[in-house]
Structure 1
């Protein structure tokens, strides 16, 4: 799970090129995605549309999904805060330029919200919008 945590950002997320993921890691991400879709009740088509570059239309279910996904990846704590150190450590196993990742983290890591779901969704949305490197393409 360590190597693909940043596929965050299916991003959603984590943040890495598909070529850096093994089949086992891709299956692990798929499992997490499916678990979080079920737990949140979000429409799977919405998640797939976002993954494909579609618009992000926020609601409570998508916020729950975002937080669930980030927490299961180990990059969001239960209180909603983002574990920057975990992201940076896990990114070492990817081809993401550390400078670009740090740029995105600076813009996204301090985002708040009323609860862990909203914080996760704010960070998730920020990563999607701010990254300029491939994510699971």
Structure 2
């Protein structure tokens, strides 16, 4: 993955509050579509949002890839678009924090798009920097 999705574009705590109502509504819709598409138990998403440990499996990894694609950060070929990721982030995030997350997670590549999505989500959760789950 040449580019990183800093996405999952919103800080676990603070940045989500910086989103417009329209952006929040889009995230909710994306989440519903991706849960339905992947068969992921919605409770898994809620557990992650609460900071509970989660076991990554194919459904969760495919959910992450689905969210990244719907947000526009993962291209159809599975590569990440750093410019889109940066554009989607709330403007009040410090540049040094964004850069640190990008540098930390941009090397996360799997054997397929689902695995890449899972690895990127895992990295983002580990850095406690961003989430696509709100």
Both proteins in one fold, TM over 0.5? yes
**Could you give the per-residue CA deviations for residues 87-109 of structure 1, whole angstroms, max 9, x where no partner exists?**
12222x43211110110111111
What does residue 15 of structure 1 align with? Answer: 10
* Structure 1 alignment gaps of length 5 or more: none
Q: How does 1:87-106 map to 2 (within 5 A)?
A: 87-91=85-89, 93-106=90-103
Q: TM-score by structure 2 length?
A: 0.84
* Structure 2 alignment gaps of length 5 or more: none
Q: Indicate conservation of the 8 Å contact 1:18/1:136, yes or no.
A: no
Q: Distance in 1 between matches of 2:69 and 2:97?
A: 23
In the TM superposition, residue 54 of structure 1 has moved relative to its aligned partner by 1.3
Q: Distance in 2 between matches of 1:90 and 1:34?
A: 20
Q: Indicate conservation of the 8 Å contact 1:56/1:125, yes or no.
A: no
Q: Distance in 2 between matches of 1:133 and 1:67?
A: 15
C-alpha change, 1:135 and 1:68, in structure 2 (3 Å) is closer
The answer to which structure, 1 or 2, has the higher relative contact order (CA under 8 A, 6+ apart) is 2
Q: TM-score by structure 1 length?
A: 0.82
- Alpha-carbon RMSD: 2.3
Deviation larger for 126-135 or 25-34: 126-135
In the TM superposition, residue 27 of structure 1 has moved relative to its aligned partner by 1.1
Aligned counterpart in structure 1 of residue 128 of structure 2, from 123, 127, 131 = 131
C-alpha change, 1:69 and 1:130, in structure 2 (3 Å) is same
Give the structure with the higher percent helix. 1
